[in-house]
Amino acid sequence: MSTSAPTWNERHCLVTGGARGIGLAVTQALLAQGARVTVLGRGAVATERLAVLAGNAEAATRLQAVAADVADAPAVARAFAEASAGFGAIDTLVNNAGQAHSAPFMKMDLALWQRMLAVNLTGTMVCTQAALPAMLAAGWGRVINVASTAAQRGYAYVSAYCAAKHGVLGLTRALALECATKGVTVNAVCPGFTETDLLKDSIANIVAKTGRSEAQARAELAAGNPQKRLVQPAEVAAAVLWLCQAGSGAVTGQALSVSGGEVM
């Protein structure tokens, strides 16, 4: 079953981790199209701060924030209910919230492993289960999972993160098949190393552990990109925005790599 796509000003999009980095770029891109956007964060995200980031007063009226840990199903259910009460049923979900921590495999403890799975994989499942019923009832919806090139290949010293992101891609493909005849597409966007606060943390970690300079650490991360540069958040947001559009309806179960050709 499928119905005609809602216009952008009828859309309600929820972006997890939507107040910083890639998530913020996605939030701004959706607002620019005229959609109503809910940002979900772990803490009480300041709506006033988001309103400033929205760019203008009119856009700020289409922006709200709710709080939940994405791996906490009851908290997510409450947050999604609050979001729907404010802006109507959610028709677009961008699962962007995530964390990345590094450790050699034999030094990785169970707590790190479970934390990477909880935030990156379980959180994606929990939020999608909360949003999907309304999409299925409407006969139209978009689920976009911000994964990583770590969902498509391996990286040393981040085995837990890679395992979680590979799981996100598997979930994406399986759910896409379940929803294929129901008007809902499910896709993943897989950025390479992207200029965000998360990347700054990775660079600081490299500097602290190896003695390299910040410039050397940045160059090392950019070296894996055939374009020899870091991806920008707006470039990832543009890929997400395309998958949100009505014209992408024939695209589902895909992993769109935004990585300068690192993964082909």
| CA 166/CA 215 separation, integer angstroms | 30
Residue 6 CB coordination number (10 Å)? 18
Give the H/E segment covering residue 256: strand 255-258
The catalytic residues are 161
Q: Which residues are bridge partners to 255 per DSSP?
A: 188
Q: Can you spell out the DSSP letters for 205-229?
A: HHHHHH---HHHHHHHHHTTSTTSS
Cβ atoms of residues 203 and 217 within 8 Å: yes
